[in-house]
Amino acid sequence: MTTTLGVVFRPQNPPELLRDAVLAADETGLEELWLWEDCFLESGIATAAAALAWSSRLRVGVGLLPVPLRNVALTAMEVATLHRLFPGRVDVGVGHGVQAWMGQVGARVESPLTLLREYLEALRALLRGEEVTTNGRYVNLDRVKLDWPPTGPTPIYAGAEGPRSLKLVAEAADGVILVAGTPVEEVRRMRAITKGRLIVYVHAAHNLDDLKRYAEAGADSLVLQPAEDDTDPAELIHYVARELKPTLPHSH
């Protein structure tokens, strides 16, 4: 098994620092750069498009897009566009969103689990190029079909916390994103029930032995998450690519 390494560009950083982070990732050969769509900071899709355009090789992930905030047809359009512009270099994950933030914008729902299930089903069908009509509790589409669907496979990942949500995303998504601080035993359990890729956020303060244990537990990607007071994403990218990558077993 191979385990790739990535770094989160936290949206608490000003957007104008993103280009330097992308260039640092290119310079060091880092495999993945991940972005978040946290309220009310930075758009996940806009930053992903910019990062992909600034590099010709970097794989860019968005994890997560909060589904209550976004109509599923809009998400499908944006994801499909990214995949057509930058084939093979885009990873997008969706999730419940922080419920307090969803409440602030009037998007909080009574059953986040039902919404995520309906959303994943509709989103994956739209990205397969299908015409979708559905009348769910939250997701309602009437003969919606993308004019420019992706031309190749378009995996959609999902992240969650809590046993019911983790069971859902393991079953309904193409892979799972686990939050930083997830115990190694839980990574191993999710590996056993997840049909696709397993992406694990890891606090950057974790030592190399911790990373090795996550890799051995079955993580396909380990994504280093900077501390809240870390204001230099390029510095962390240099450290991960030059110091951690060569020593991690099975790393590319």
Q: Render pLDDT for 95-107 as a digit per residue (tens, 0 to 9).
A: 999 999 999 999 9
Task: Give mean pLDDT, residues 140-167.
Answer: 97
Q: Render pLDDT for 211-235 as a digit per residue (tens, 0 to 9).
A: 999 999 999 999 999 988 888 999 9
Residue 229, pLDDT score: 83
Task: Give mean pLDDT, residues 48-69.
Answer: 97
Higher-scoring residue by pLDDT: 105, 210? 105
With a CB cutoff of 8 Å and minimum separation 6, the contacts of 235 are none
User: What residue segments make up the domains of the chain, in order of their start?
Assistant: 4-247
Task: Give the predicted TM-score (pTM) of the model.
Answer: 0.95
**Assigned token pair, 215:** 């890799």
Whose CA is closest to 5, among 152, 187, 208, 158? 208
* Averaged confidence pLDDT in the chain: 94
State whether CATH 3.20.20.30 applies to domain 4-247.
yes
Higher-scoring residue by pLDDT: 13, 231? 13
